[in-house]
């Protein structure tokens, strides 16, 4: 299928976009038919001074970005491709953004689709051992753009062949239809709940929830192909704690693979 010209939609999922904007209580909402990347558009808006929680959604992305410059498959109508401008109160809070956005995705998927999700540090959302959503956070000026890709309606054959073993959609798990608008609304609500109070450290109930959802906990991991050890949770600064032969390490950023009996991996490196 060839992507059409980018067009701002007036209606989406059966309602005027302005209705979604109001129902979700966001200060602005753009829904595009086709766009290169919703993150690029949200970055533009952020650099023009857009307030926190302004949101960009697209039916389809032609150059959707994943982490590490990978392409993010974003076919029309099958997923929620969305970016939101966040304005964390202080630079110290920025390292927590990916994990908190992942937490918001877990909560929204559970409330709307009834699908239990886990977090794979730093930015993946899993159902069982398979990836159902990814988060790409990009800092720009004083803002952070949180790009969220949720696989909603893909069947296995809709994923690129190399992703079929490791990816899954909400509708496959739920065995029923999942509303993308419902999901986006729940997600914007969870983002507000998590970001409207200044969060500089993971603590209290949020830290407990992150711990409960931590898919890596106590598993043997390899970080960036070189640091091998046992994952021991996520520290208050949002760093992955790895118990390695050399001692305890607090990893700020990296790609993690799970070692399962010396074979295979948990959805590859994310």
Site for ligand BTN, rule CB under 6 A: 37-39, 61, 64-67, 70, 72, 74, 81-83, 123-124, 134-136, 147-149, 270
Closest contact distance (angstroms) between CB of 60 and ligand BTN is 11
**H-state helical runs in the chain:** 17-24, 38-47, 97-113, 170-174, 180-195, 204-213
Which of residues 185 and 270 has its CB atom nearest to ligand BTN in the complex? 270
Which of residues 74 and 169 has its CB atom nearest to ligand BTN in the complex? 74
Which of residues 67 and 130 has its CB atom nearest to ligand BTN in the complex? 67
Which of residues 133 and 232 has its CB atom nearest to ligand BTN in the complex? 133
Residue nearest to ligand BTN (CB): 134
Closest contact distance (angstroms) between CB of 81 and ligand BTN is 4
Q: Token digits for 37?
A: 């990347």
Closest contact distance (angstroms) between CB of 205 and ligand BTN is 26
Which of residues 137 and 210 has its CB atom nearest to ligand BTN in the complex? 137
Closest contact distance (angstroms) between CB of 167 and ligand BTN is 10
In the structure, how many helices (H) and strands (E) does the chain have?
6, 14
Number of neighbouring beta carbons within 10 Å of residue 47: 13
Closest contact distance (angstroms) between CB of 231 and ligand BTN is 18
Closest contact distance (angstroms) between CB of 192 and ligand BTN is 19
Number of neighbouring beta carbons within 10 Å of residue 36: 16
Which of residues 61 and 188 has its CB atom nearest to ligand BTN in the complex? 61
Across the beta sheet with 124-127, the strand order is 29-35, 55-61, 79-86, 143-151, 130-140, 124-127, 118-120
**What b/e sequence results for 192-214 when a residue is b if at least 16 CB atoms lie within 10 Å of its CB, and e otherwise?**
bebbeeebbebeeebeeebeebb
CA angle 205, 102, 224 (to 5 degrees): 110
Q: For residues 80 and 150, is the Cβ–Cβ distance under 8 A?
A: yes
């Amino acid at each position: 299928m060839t992507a059409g010209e980018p067009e701002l939609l007036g209606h989406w999922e059966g309602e005027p976009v302005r209705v979604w904007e109001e129902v979700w209580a966001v200060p602005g909402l753009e829904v595009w038919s086709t766009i290169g990347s919703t993150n690029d558009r949200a970055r533009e808006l952020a650099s023009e001074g857009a307030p926190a929680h302004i949101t960009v959604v697209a039916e389809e992305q032609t150059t959707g970005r994943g982490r590490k410059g990978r392409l993010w498959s974003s076919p029309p109508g099958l997923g929620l491709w969305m970016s939101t401008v966040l304005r964390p109160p202080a630079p110290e809070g920025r390292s927590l953004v990916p994990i908190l956005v992942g937490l918001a995705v877990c909560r929204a998927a559970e409330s709307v689709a009834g699908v239990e999700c886990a977090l794979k540090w730093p930015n993946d959302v899993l159902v069982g051992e398979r990836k159902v959503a990814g988060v790409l956070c990009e800092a720009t000026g004083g803002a952070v753009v949180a790009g969220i890709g949720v696989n909603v309606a893909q069947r296995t054959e809709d994923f690129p062949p190399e992703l079929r073993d490791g990816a899954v959609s909400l509708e496959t798990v739920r065995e029923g239809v999942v509303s993308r608008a419902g999901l986006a609304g729940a997600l914007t609500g969870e983002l507000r709940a998590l970001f409207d109070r200044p969060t500089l450290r993971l603590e209290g109930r949020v830290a407990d929830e992150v711990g409960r959802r931590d898919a890596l906990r106590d598993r043997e991991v390899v970080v960036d192909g070189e640091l091998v050890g046992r994952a021991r949770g996520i520290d208050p600064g949002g760093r992955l704690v790895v118990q390695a032969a050399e001692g305890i390490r607090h990893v700020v950023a990296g790609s993690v693979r799970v070692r399962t009996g010396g074979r295979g991996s948990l959805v590859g490196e994310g």
